[in-house]
Amino acid sequence: MRGIFLAGLLAVACSACAPASFDTATPVLRLTPDTDWWRPPPGMAIGDISAVAVGPDGDIWILHRPRSLTEEEQANAARPVVRLDPSGAFVASFGGPGVGYDWPRNEHSIAVDARGHFWVSGSFRGDPAEADDAILEFDGEGRFVKQIGQQGASEGDGDTGNVRAASDIFVDVEAGEVYVSDGYVNHRIVVFDRDTGAFKRMWGGFGSKPPAQPAESAEGSADGEQAPHFSELHGIEKSRDGIVYVADRGHQRIQMFTPEGRYLSQFRVDPGLAEPRTASGIAFSADAAQRYIYVSDWGNSRLLAFDRKSLREVANIGGEGTLPGQMKGPHLIATDGDGVIYVAEVQGRRIQRFVPSAGER
């Protein structure tokens, strides 16, 4: 394994990264970056990688964008959804345009549920008539199951049948629900029935009703802590103890809710750094209590860890670049059963993983 061992709050090859503040009662995480765990098979081209997920059997699922490749490279491109076994060996690839569904024009998020089905969203929004306004479900062999919403059909934050360029998905199989971060154009979390696709509920920042037209622009407000509405809402995950976490990227914060949408609390993610779009992807540590929450900082090329109880930052790593521990476009993230963190790097076109020491998983 090629990588640099991280002890304490070391920001690898990143002199611009400020040291993290942390509660001295909380152990400092030690993570080893690994960029060599997976390579595409010879002759297979992989484009911008937007998302990664871990299936119930430990397989790693990658979502990439074949259209980001050159015309020559596209001839050898893997299909958009790539499945790897836990060792990183290629298993199969799925997805792409087909009969009976609207495959997204710009692949964005992938979730794999406890049944092994994968769910995909897209983020194209250039032409409203062709916008990615749907969520797709496929079984583990790539067979189409259903579509929630229709291409180019969204009517905004009040729409109960469509999304608009949804940024992330979480599937709660036990509750039979699908949580969607509908935040690139809209400003809400929306929940659908997993089996029927029927609308169930939605909410906005601080648990409020999603706005028809929010006061702040899509770039967010100067006071991200108090901004009443979401701005570029991104990652979404639900912890085992029933808390829904969402990454409000434009406001540099994570907000927490009950499954019904009641606001609980929030914490900031890298406020005041050079790039204002920070909190992007969310994942949890593998221990039963999910002690740590991991957050990718899209704009500043960092991966951070917070203690879920104290909400204190306990580790950060990163800096823009291609060396192990550096990142280019850290987007959506996931963890496996051993606590290994997988980071999808869009511009870096790789999945870098970070391996905690044995006592911190």
- For 359: left if phi > 0, alpha if psi spans -120 to 50, otherwise beta; the answer is alpha
Q: What is the pLDDT of residue 360?
A: 64
Residues 151-170 pLDDT 10s: 999 999 999 999 999 999 99
Q: Report CA dihedral (157, 162, 168, 169) to the nearest 10 degrees.
A: 120
Residue 343 has a pLDDT of 98
Percent of the chain with pLDDT over 90: 84
Residue 150 CA to residue 97 CA, distance in Å, equals 14
Query: 97-128: per-residue pLDDT in tens?
Result: 999 999 999 999 999 999 999 999 999 999 99
Residue 289's pLDDT band (boundaries 50, 70, 90)? Answer: very high
pLDDT tens profile 53-70: 999 999 999 999 999 999
Instruction: Evaluate if pTM is beyond 0.85.
Output: yes
Q: Which residue has the tokens 């869009």?
A: 346
Please, which pLDDT band fits residue 361 given cuts at 50, 70 and 90? Answer: low
Q: Give mean pLDDT, residues 343-347.
A: 98
Q: How far are the Cα atoms of 50, 166, 320, 327, 343 from residue 298, in angstroms, in the given order?
A: 11, 17, 10, 9, 11
Residue 71 DSSP SS3: helix
Paired strand residues for 239: none
**How many degrees, rounded to 5, is the angle at CA 299 between CA 55 and CA 334?**
10
